[in-house]
Every structure is written in C-alpha cells, then in structure tokens.
Amino acid sequence: MLSQHAGNIRVLAGGTDLIPSMRQKLFEPRFVLDLRGIGELRGIYPQPDGGAEIGALTPLSAIERSSYLREHYPVLTEAAATVASPVIRNMGTIGGNICLDTRCLWYNQSLAWRKGCGFCIKKDGDLCHVAPGGSKCWAAFSGDTPPALLCLNAEIEVASANGMRRISLREFYPGDGINYRNLQSNELVTRVFLPAESAGYCGIYRKLRVRGSIDYPLAGVAVAMKRTSNGNGIGRVTEAHIALTAVNPAPVLVKSAGELLAGKNIDEALAEAVGDIAARTAKPLTTSALTPEYRREMIRVFTKRAILAAAQN
C-alpha cells in the first residue's frame, strides 16, 4: 500500500504534528496510514544484553515515566518529558518525534497566509524568506528526543514492503529542511534501539522555550556522559556526547565536544569552552520566535549548564 501510493500517503502515528499540518494544507495526502491501533509497535522492552528496544508508537508519556529508561537512559526520559504538553505527550510517539517535520514561521502557516507571502521553498514556492536568495531550506528540526537519541547512539528500524533495515540515527538526518530525513515514502520507522554500551550515562536535556509547556524547542541541548568513578563518585570524563536541536535543519551532534571533554575533570572553564563549540555548531535563523543570535547564545549557556549539571549527577 505504502509503495503503491508513495506520493499520496502520509503516515499518522500520534497525529500531533501531522493533523495540524494537514489543516494548514501543508499536506493534502489522498491516504493517511493511521498506525494508532497497532499494539505491536508500542512498548519499551529491556534487552538481555542490557540495551533497550522501544516501539515507534510508544507514547512519549510512557518514555517519560519508564523507570527503566530513567535509570539507564536518563537523557531520553528528560528530553521526552519536555515535549509540548502532558496531553500531547500522551498522544505523540517516539517515532513521530523522530520523524517530526522541520518547522519555520514561513512554512507552518495556513494556505491563505502562505499565499500572502508568495509561498516558500519548502512548500509550493521557490523563495526562502529566511535566507533570501538561497536555495537551501533552513526550516529547523524541532524534535526534543532526537538529540538525546543521538547522544545515546540509538539505531532505528525502518520497514517497508521490501523488508526491514536497521540504521544509526546519526545517519538519518541529512541536514536539509525539505528532505530532512533519509526515509523513502514507502518506508516506516518501526523501532528504536538503545545500545547496551550507552546505558548508564549521566544525561541532561535543556530546552529553551518561552512557556513552560506547549512550546516547541527554540533551542535544545542534550548531554550524555560517563565518568570514571573514584571513591567520591567524582571522576574524569571517559566519554561524552552533546547534541543540539531546533537550531539547524537537523538535530546535530557537536563533534569535537566529546574529544574536548574526554579524560578531563569538569570545571566551569571546560564547560564554558564546550559551550563555545556548541554555539559554533548551531546555525539558527529566523525560523521561530526569539532572535537567532539569542538562540545561539542560549546554546552556549545551556550547553555549559548541562555539562555542569551532568557533572553533579
């Protein structure tokens, strides 16, 4: 079915992103594949090797409340707990959050509105209002859980009529606002795998938002790190991952952050330095509220704070 109607079908998991977008006529599919009823893809399953498997249709509220995930993958539960509002987390799924469409003030508007601005490069038009003259779409990826999953080096299972494939989430986002994920239109994300090696990382997620609820992130930082344990529980960093969201067309890992942190004791200056690197990785544009300069600056501050908070754990 998916293959047959590849261009005309949208997949609906929780519906919290797709249905408002359909109302704005961002998508006018002839078919909606509603997955809500499929119980097989719902659930959190600890694996014998110490990892975990999460069905793509698992609601974000189940992830937020899972004591298993909280203990072993705290960065994920923390990120899941910040998505939108409690009711939306009841409906929204981890798979939907991973596949979330990129967002932009010039894009997430009604058809009548978009007519008024002459449409944009992401939908129906050939202009970018955010970076005039450019041909790249800068709509921002605004999911909260993917940066956490990137830090955990999660993998996802992709299914189609041809079978299954399993890829690293780090290869899933090409970084373009239009083709923002490597997913064919006849494919579905069905499962998320958290590797055993990533269990037990201290994790922190910090989200910039105007309201304490409802809002998409305007900038987000996930930090996961492991440290050697000396007697006091305070030790050097053995491994660290930092990922950002809402400031680029994809969730991105801050590449050199891990190298900079590895083998060191965390102090204010080190956290500060990593914050600077993170801020340089962020490329926010005027796709949402709050100025790009401010959002970039908050990436710096939030990264620093997240690292210091992770070090307290």
Partner 1 sequence: MNNGFSIIGKRTAMVDAAEKTTGAGKYTDDISVSGMLIGKILHSPYPHARIRSIDTSRAEKLDGVIAVAIGKDAPNPFGILPVGHDEYPLALDKVRYVGDNVACVVATSEAIAEKALELIHVDYDVLPAYFDPEESMRAQADFIHENKPGNLEKDYHHIFGDPERGFSEADEIAEARFIAGEVTHAAMEPHSTLASFELDPHTGKTGRLTVWSSTQVPYYLQHKLSLVLEMPMQQIRVIKPLVGGGFGGKSEVIPLEIIAAIAARKAKAPVKITYTREEVFWAHRGRPRTIIDLKTAVKNDGRITAVKARVVQDGGAYCSYGVVTILYSGALLGALYDIPNIQYDGYRVLTNKPACGAMRGHGTVNVRFAFEVQLDELAARIAMDPAEIRKRNLLKPPCITVNGLRVQSYGLPECIEKTVKRSGWEQRKGKLLKGRGLGIACSHYVSGAANSIIRSDMPHSTVNIKIDRDGGVVVYTGASDIGQGSDTMVAQIAAETLGCSLARVRVIAADTDLTPIDLGSYSSRVTFMNGNATLRAANEVKKLIAAAAAKKMNYSPEELIFREDIVFKKGNPQPLPRKDDADEVEVTQAGASVSGHVEGQILRGSLQQKRKEEGPKEWMTFEEAVVAAIDFHGALTGTGSYAPPLEARGGKHKGGGVGPSPAYSYSAQVAEVSVDEETGEVAVHKVWAAHDCGRALNPVSVEGQIIGSVWMGMGQALTEEMVWKDGMLMNPGLLEYRSPSSIESPEIEPIIVESIDPEGPFGAKECSEGSLAATIPAIANAIYDAVGVRLHESPFTPERVLAALRAKKKEKALNLTEGVDPTSPKRFREHGGSLCFKGRGPARHALDPAHRQAPASAGGAD
Partner 2 sequence: MSDLLATLFHRSMRIAHGLLMKKELIPLRVNGRTHELAIEPSALLLDVLRQELQLTGSKRGCDDSSCGACTVLVDGGAMLSCTLLAASCEGQEVTTIEGVSEHGSLAAIQKAYGDWGGAQCGYCTPGFVMTVKSLLAENPDPTEEDVRHALSSNLCRCTGYNQMYEAIRAAIAAEQEGIAAK
Stretch that binds partner 1, among 112-120, 146-154, 184-192, 260-268 (CB under 8 A): 112-120
Q: Which of 43, 85, 273, 305 binds partner 2 (CB under 8 A)?
A: 85
Q: Which of 6, 31, 136, 229 binds partner 2 (CB under 8 A)?
A: 31
Question: Nearest-5° angle of CA 198, CA 201, CA 204?
Answer: 120
Tell me how far, at minimum, the Cβ of 15 lies from partner 2, in Å.
5
48 binds partner 1 (CB under 8 A): no
Whole-angstrom distance, CA of residue 276 vs CA of residue 24: 38
Name which of 15 and 177 has its Cβ closer to partner 2.
15
Sign, CA dihedral 265-269-275-280, equals negative
8 binds partner 1 (CB under 8 A): yes
125 binds partner 1 (CB under 8 A): yes
Name which of 24 and 185 has its Cβ closer to partner 2.
24
Q: Which of 29, 46, 50, 200 binds partner 1 (CB under 8 A)?
A: 29
Size of site (CB under 8 A) for partner 1: 40
Q: What is the CB-side half-sphere exposure of residue 276 using CA atoms within 13 A?
A: 7
Q: Which does 37 bind (CB under 5 to 8 A by kind): partner 1, partner 2, none?
A: partner 2
Tell me how far, at minimum, the Cβ of 146 lies from partner 2, in Å.
20
Sign, CA dihedral 70-49-227-166, equals negative
Per the CB < 8 A criterion, the answer to whether 10 and 195 are in contact is: no
144 binds partner 1 (CB under 8 A): no
Tell me how far, at minimum, the Cβ of 254 lies from partner 2, in Å.
30
Residues in contact with partner 1, shown as a per-residue x/- string from 66 to 105 under the rule CB under 8 A? -------------------x-------------------x
Q: What is the DSSP string of 244-308?
A: EESSSSS-EE-HHHHHHHTT----HHHHHHHHHHHHHH----TTSSS-HHHHHHHHHHHHHHHHH
Copy the structure tokens of residue 265. 């004791």
Closest-CA residue to 252 (of 143, 105, 157, 165):
143
Q: Which of 77, 97, 109, 281 binds partner 1 (CB under 8 A)?
A: 109
Tell me how far, at minimum, the Cβ of 45 lies from partner 2, in Å.
15
Name which of 12 and 266 has its Cβ closer to partner 2.
12
Copy the structure tokens of residue 113. 């509105």
Copy the structure tokens of residue 57. 């249709």
Instruction: Return residues touching partner 1 (CB under 8 A).
Output: 8, 25, 28-30, 85, 105, 109-110, 112-113, 115-119, 124-125, 127-129, 132-133, 210-216, 286, 289-294, 297-298, 301
Instruction: Return residues touching partner 2 (CB under 8 A).
Output: 1-2, 5, 9, 12, 14-16, 19-20, 23-24, 29-38, 40-41, 85-88, 90-91, 108, 110, 159, 161, 164, 188, 190, 212-214
